[in-house]
Amino acid sequence: MAKVVVPFGPQHPVLPEPVHLTLICEEDLVKQAIPAIGYCHRGIEKLAEQKPFQQVPFLVERICGICNFMHALAYCQAVEKILKLEVPPRSKYLRVIWAELNRMRSHLLWLGLLADSIGFESVFMQFWRIRERVIDLIEETTGARIILSTNIIGGVRRDITHELLQKIKKVLDEIRPEIEELGYVLLNDYSIKQRAVDKGVLSKEDAHKLGAVGPTARGSGIEKDNRTLGYAAYGDLPFAPIVETAGDCYARTLVRYKETLQAMDLIHEAINRIPQGEIATPVDEWPNGEAFEIVEQPRGEVFYYVKANGTINLERLRIRTPTFSNIPALLHMLVGCHIEDVPIITLSIDPCISCTER
């Protein structure tokens, strides 16, 4: 049977990310998928070595607009390890609140894109309408809608008043029924189930072997979420990873939908338990040593390695992002699928090529 080479991306009407795959097909079945990365390379890791280490949080935030807070959080926590710096308790809770607002913003974006990719434009717009209210909360508490720039080494650079904290709870209580109503439509519609159930199946064994992370791994039954490590204030909050076992596109959708609701619960708990006090510890020395830090982005595990030499500049910064970890799993899932399912399966790992290529 003759083989046909089909280019997928880097521009595609379903995917806002410049994913590029070369698909080797027999008729309409994919037999092999070959990735090509490098369209978004910006040299951020090298640039981080040329900036004062206190400015790097604002640089790494530019890696990705949606995950920006977690990028800065991972970097700051790594440098705080090197400096043996104790972060004030209040700032740890503020970090959780902003991190979970970011998670909601990311998952609501993805849920909307999934609906749009299947043809449900009205559901797409409704998810993004709710997402705008989350972004409004981010803007009101940080002064920015996309890049937060509140993480600094030693804590955070601005506080949230008691009145604003109560407003966050009020808004989340208002939008929760709307998310649940949309979730019912998204998760029970016949057309969506036809496109997502049993598509792009990734077994638990394959997910483990191929190094999948985040909702991609948890959708295959792997109970791994780095928030269980207890960084920031997660160790003080009731939390358990959300896991599905089917391993298909529908299971990964369920994980992200449930994590959106879980993020609201975590924000409520953090607001109820947040202590009074300072929001930052002064940094009075330059870091000397090396450390790594792992945090849970909306897409999964992000790994930061920081090496400092006692000067104002870093000696090395190395980052591994969740999409990079999930690409091997994606290539495995695509083999044997019909070519019309390639966009949905690719979207199901929530790819962020801006993060991956930096």
Span 92-125, pLDDT tens digits: 999 999 999 999 999 999 999 888 888 888 988 9
Total-model pTM: 0.93
Which band of pLDDT confidence, cut at 50, 70 and 90, is reported for residue 1?
low
Stretch (H or E) spanning 303 = strand 300-309
pLDDT of residue 223: 92
Which band of pLDDT confidence, cut at 50, 70 and 90, is reported for residue 167?
very high
Residue type, 38: G
pLDDT digits (tens, 9 = 90+) for 193-249: 888 888 889 999 999 999 999 999 999 999 999 999 999 999 999 989 999 998 899
Residues spanned by the domain of 300: 3-357
Structural contact between residues 166 and 182, judged by C-beta atoms closer than 8 angstroms: no
Structural contact between residues 59 and 48, judged by C-beta atoms closer than 8 angstroms: yes
pLDDT of residue 35: 84
Which band of pLDDT confidence, cut at 50, 70 and 90, is reported for residue 13?
low
In three-state form (DSSP H/G/I as H, E/B as E, the rest C), the secondary structure along 168-221 is HHHHHHHHHHHHHHHHHHHHHCHHHHHHHCCCCCCCHHHHHHCCCCHHHHHCCC
- The answer to whether residue 264 scores a pLDDT higher than 70 is yes
**Six-digit token string for 271:** 């607001």
Phi first, then psi, for residue 142 (nearest 5°) are -120, -20
Structural contact between residues 20 and 9, judged by C-beta atoms closer than 8 angstroms: yes
Orientation angle between helical segments 162-188 and 121-142, nearest 10 degrees = 170
Cross-strand bridge partners of residue 308: 289, 314
- The answer to whether residue 269 scores a pLDDT higher than 80 is yes
pLDDT of residue 358: 67
Q: What is the domain-level CATH number for residue 219? A: 1.10.645.10
Cross-strand bridge partners of residue 290: 307
Mapped onto helix, strand or coil, the DSSP state of residue 156 is strand
Of 75, 97, 101, the residue nearest 154 (C-alpha)? 75
**DSSP character string of 275-296:** PPS-SB----S--EEEEEEEEE
Orientation angle between helical segments 89-118 and 162-188, nearest 10 degrees = 30
pLDDT of residue 109: 92
d(CA 274, CA 162): 10
- The answer to whether residue 14 scores a pLDDT higher than 90 is no
In which residue are the tokens 């390639």 written?
A: 342
d(CA 104, CA 208): 26
Which band of pLDDT confidence, cut at 50, 70 and 90, is reported for residue 28?
confident
- The answer to whether residue 316 scores a pLDDT higher than 90 is yes
d(CA 351, CA 358): 13
| Counted domains in the chain | 1
d(CA 105, CA 183): 15
Q: What is the number of other CB atoms lying within 10 angstroms of the CB of residue 272?
A: 11
Mean pLDDT score of the chain: 89
pLDDT of residue 312: 93
In which residue are the tokens 């064994």 written?
A: 205
